[in-house]
Structure 1
């Protein structure tokens, strides 16, 4: 079953979405749409992204948003986030995330998150990625916030993709017929339940 992501988030806060993206331009358009939707809902967007892509996103957003609107974006450098302990260590990453969201929780402020997960290759031990995704999925359900985890499709071996499908109840769909614009944040619910 397909859903509009904004409609789904409006009715259900604990939405954990896998986005296996293709072209970088489509990725940029998708993350910009998600950010704009978050700001329109007056929710902070915790954007975990690399510095180079963040500059591109910011360039896309600046003509569309006021300076005040840009304050809804809480940027975290993805390298600092994933390797805060010196290596990819799921408990350290989860602790970093908990520390980041704590002020929003204490002030009862709604937030959303976008996490770009990237390495030069997806040769990291898959059990570590699986461990982190399970921890994060638990947090999404417990703290009631939407999260999109973006992975580059071309860098995902089949065993990683299969594992990620099991830890993400929803998958963001790119429309293969439209090369410049994805479906307006359309998600598909996983058929099998955990």
Structure 2
């Protein structure tokens, strides 16, 4: 398993599909802020898809750490609109919202990076739906040549789902490491 260190500290890391299995909320926020900082340093726009519980803290942290001009390159959206608005994890709805948000950022004529906190309403997620979504996302990330992080709370993942996500992402990230997925089927 080749460790790349941390996505947040690796400036050379500018494209790829990342499965982030997070355990600690503070590490999560710190990694997100470094992800944003590195994107801004690379003159990229950043799309953050986050849950409504974390959005106020993330917005406050962004307000503290970044200038008004930098904040113009950051788009924060509620992940409810993506993952839950049209029933539990409806792939077509997710992709429609994603394309709409990306088209807004693309008008700035710059590269884009994305970070999405992926959630679902049901006790047990439909692995086939997640697989369909992540496979489509993987193809999109490859075609567009962007970096895209899909963050999942570790305590919400079964071992089967964890394995499936490792197969559908080029990279795996934890709170303190980033490495190439040994199971990736891309």
- The interval holding the TM-score normalised by the smaller chain is 0.7 to 0.9
Q: CA deviation at 1:107?
A: 5.5
Q: CA RMSD in A?
A: 1.9
Task: Write the mapping of 1:62-141 to structure 2, written as runs, cut at 5 A.
Answer: 62-105=63-106, 108-119=109-120, 123-141=124-142
The TM-score, its normalising length taken from structure 1, stands at 0.84
SS in 2 for 1:102: helix
Q: CA deviation at 1:104?
A: 4.1
| Contact 1:43/1:72 (8 A) holds in 2 | yes
In structure 2, relative to structure 1, the CA distance for the partners of 1:44 and 1:156 (3 Å cut) is: same
Partner residue, 2:181? 190
* Runs (5+) with no aligned partner, structure 1: 176-185
| Contact 2:18/2:148 (8 A) holds in 1 | yes
Q: CA deviation at 1:192?
A: 4.5
In structure 2, relative to structure 1, the CA distance for the partners of 1:172 and 1:35 (3 Å cut) is: same
Equivalenced residue count is 181
TM-superposition CA deviations, 1:90-111 (whole Å, max 9, x none): 1221122122212444654201
CA distance in 1, matches of 2:121, 2:93: 21
Equivalent residue for 1:9, pick from 7, 13, 16: 13
The TM-score, its normalising length taken from structure 2, stands at 0.88
Q: CA deviation at 1:28?
A: 1.1
Partner residue, 1:183? none
CA distance in 1, matches of 2:143, 2:21: 24
Partner residue, 2:148? 147
| Contact 1:122/1:156 (8 A) holds in 2 | no
Partner residue, 1:181? none
The runs of 4+ residues in structure 1 deviating greater than 6 Å are none
| Contact 1:48/1:78 (8 A) holds in 2 | yes
Partner residue, 1:19? 20
Partner residue, 1:165? 166
CA distance in 2, matches of 1:108, 1:91: 26
In structure 2, relative to structure 1, the CA distance for the partners of 1:192 and 1:156 (3 Å cut) is: closer
CA distance in 2, matches of 1:25, 1:93: 27
